Structures are given as structure tokens and as C-alpha cells.
Amino acid sequence: MPDPIEKVSIIISKGSLEGIYPGLIMANGARAEGIEANLFFTFFGLDAIHRKRLDHIKVAAVGNPGMHMASLVGVLPGMSAIATHMMEKKMESFDIPGIPEFMELIGDTGCGMYACKASVDLFGFSEEDFIEQVEGIITVGEFYEIAAGGEIIFT
């Protein structure tokens, strides 16, 4: 029987609803099982921890094969908003919290949350742009130090 997982570090690189939630759900599940968990937000995944953006995360309606509709339909005005509303209602029926509440909940469990320094610099952000649960802006090398000895998952 393999050794149990004791630590997991999850990289969130997408800024869409379906790009952010899997990592949050996995981190929350890890903490519920007593597994150390860390989240590393890079590129557009930074939207999940950005104070002004985390309330405005949308479903990617264009080029998303999981939507099971032609990409052309996704470009119609309002399609992303409609898809987002439908997904949020469905998640609400399963008691899945919104991203701001989920971030607070996961932070309260002791999950480490970090922003990628290269991405922060690329987009011209600063520490003040991020929610209070973010423990720091770190380099990829520092992320590897934190993740050492555990599993790394890229969502």
C-alpha cells in the first residue's frame, strides 16, 4: 500500500470560474483530511486573489469544450454572464461557496496561499492588490521549497 499523501501544493493559473474552483476544492478537501495544502497563483489565476477581481470571475464561454456548445455561440454578448449565473446557481444548490467566501474558508484552515512574483511583476501588481489570506509574493524557487516533499498539482 502506498504511503499516504501528507502535503500537496496546487498551482492555479487560469482566471475563469472553472479554472479556479478545482484547485480550491482540492485544497479544501486536503485540509479536511489533515493534509498540508498550499495554493500558488500564477498568471491569470491571480484574479482569484486580487481584491478588485475575485468578485467578477466568469465562466470562459469561448473555446471551452466543456460548455458543449459551438465557440461561435460563446462570443454572443452576455453568454459568459449567462453561463456564469447558471453555474453559480448550480454550485449554490450544492452549498459550494462563492470564491471570496471560499478563499476565506480555506485560509482559515491553514492553507498557504502565495502569489507568483514573476506574474505579479508582469501585471504590475503589488502586495496591496491581494486579499489578506495571501501569505506572500514568492518566486518559483521559493514555491518549490515550500512544496518540497509533497505532491504538486497543476490545474
The ranges assigned to domains in the chain are: 7-57+100-154
How high is the pLDDT of residue 87? Answer: 80
Mean pLDDT of 144-155: 96
Q: What is the pLDDT of residues 21-68, one digit of tens each?
A: 999 999 999 999 999 999 999 999 999 999 999 999 988 765 555 655
Cβ atoms 103, 20 nearer than 8 A: no
Angle between helices 99-108 and 17-32 (to 10 degrees): 30
The secondary element (H helix, E strand) that includes residue 120 is helix 117-123
What percentage of the chain carries pLDDT values higher than 90? Answer: 73
pLDDT at 72 over 50: no
Higher pLDDT, 82 or 36: 36
Mean pLDDT of 101-129: 97
Q: Which residues pair with 154 in a beta bridge?
A: 11
Superfamily of the domain at 7-57+100-154: DsrEFH-like (3.40.1260.10)
Identity (one letter) of the amino acid at 117? Answer: K
Mean pLDDT of 13-26: 95
